[in-house]
Amino acid sequence: MLTILWIQLKGILLQKWTGQAGWFGLFKAGDKWDLFVSSGRVSGFSDNVWKKILSLDLNPYVSKKIIGLPDFGDDGTTLNGLVFKSENRVFPLGAGKDIGCGFRVLHVPRNKVDIEKIEREYQFFAKNITSYKPGTTLLDEEIEQIFYSNSDRPSLIKQEEVKLSFGRIGKGNHFIEFRTIDIKDQLAAKKLGFETGDIIIHIHSGSGLFLEYMILKYAALFNNNRGYQNAYELHFPFENCLIQQFLADAERCLQVSIANRNALERLIIEWIGSAIRVLDVSHDVIEVEGTTVHYQKAVQRYSEYKGLDIAIIPTTIEEQSYLVNRTGHFSFVNHGSGEGEEGDTQNIGSVKTNFDKTSSRTFFGINDSLEIATRNAWYKIICNLNPWICIKNFNEW
């Protein structure tokens, strides 16, 4: 019976599907969706992806528009590359389970870089920030400030687990990368103070595995044996007491994530001597505005730096990443070109790393994203970021 119902509902959605991407890489799905994805990517969507698309499209609490970015896809629990909002209703997994996860970018001028020192010592630094002993400490009063500065609601977060996660890179698709700048837009680069040969340090970090587990505990409490089939069937009234506690903890996750990136930045500067912060942006976000709730899952917004709206677009370990300058009115930027720690083993090439096994990740390639962005005049590339050093954590957490 459920299978028959799903086939009927999928038929309804597909009747509303344009069937072919326009010149600008835009698919329309159902009544609410704008999917900026390649036709090849759409053809590879699994039934689980379609069910989640349908679930959001038919939900009366979900507002138009729902946006899918070029790296849109399923991470197993939720959809990546997703932007939507709800009215008077909260979707606990709307932004995934790593709330606050984001990017920080630091710039080091080439005349301030000691290449030999970094290459000689990066393995030791990597061991420090991927070990089970945190790279730095978080004082109890600092935790209290994070936990209760914005809300006095109770929390499921265990403060000792926050301490264990602090000052370290979590496992999964998180990393610290050192890349060299290759200028493509001289005027923009000059405004930012960038030169070819300068170093960009890219920190990708969230709140830590323990806080991810905490979000999943909330999901289990909300599910409560109700048998929900996917993350987007899990939604509850805004005034629900447990929902309000969840929103308070979601804000705490965001603050822990930012504080952890602060700590990692301090550790890097203590090691290499100096670095200039260029941007910090969270890409897994729940924001509350009255009774409207905004969700971003693996989606960035631009950051203003020296008069330009910029963003970083990461790719695979051995390929170029990009720093871009917003040129259009579209507010969002895709998270990157990867889908997590599963799939084909990727080549490390000549990149210096702290690990001796290749990263097993599924990537679809950055070209689709760049082509869609170019056709829609979303942004212009300021500089290519060439791979040099990549630090990852392959421990248990």
Determine if residue 125 is labeled as part of a ligand binding site: no
Phi and psi at residue 248, to the nearest 5°: -65, -40
Q: Does residue 65 have a cis bond before it (omega within 30 degrees)? A: yes
Burial classification of residue 224, based on how many CB atoms lie within 10 Å of its CB (0-12 exposed, 13-18 middle, 19 or more buried): exposed
Pairing status of strand 66-74 against strand 33-36: parallel
Question: Distances in Å between the alpha carbon of 323 and those of 161, 231, 291, 329, 364?
Answer: 34, 33, 35, 18, 19
Q: Which amino acid is at 169?
A: I
Question: Distances in Å between the alpha carbon of 209 and those of 16, 96, 97, 205, 358?
Answer: 39, 13, 9, 11, 22
Structure-block tokens of residue 17: 């599907």
Determine if residue 173 is labeled as part of a ligand binding site: yes
Determine if residue 27 is labeled as part of a ligand binding site: no
Instruction: Tell me the Ramachandran region of residue 197: left when phi exceeds 0, alpha when psi lies from -120 to 50, beta otherwise.
Output: left
Q: How far apart are CA 83 and CA 333, in angstroms?
A: 11
Determine if residue 335 is labeled as part of a ligand binding site: no
Q: How far apart are CA 137 and CA 9, in angstroms?
A: 52
Determine if residue 174 is labeled as part of a ligand binding site: yes
Determine if residue 313 is labeled as part of a ligand binding site: no
Which residues participate in the annotated binding site for Mn(2+)? Answer: 174, 204
Which residues participate in the annotated binding site for GMP? Answer: 173-177
Which residues participate in the annotated binding site? Answer: 173-177, 204
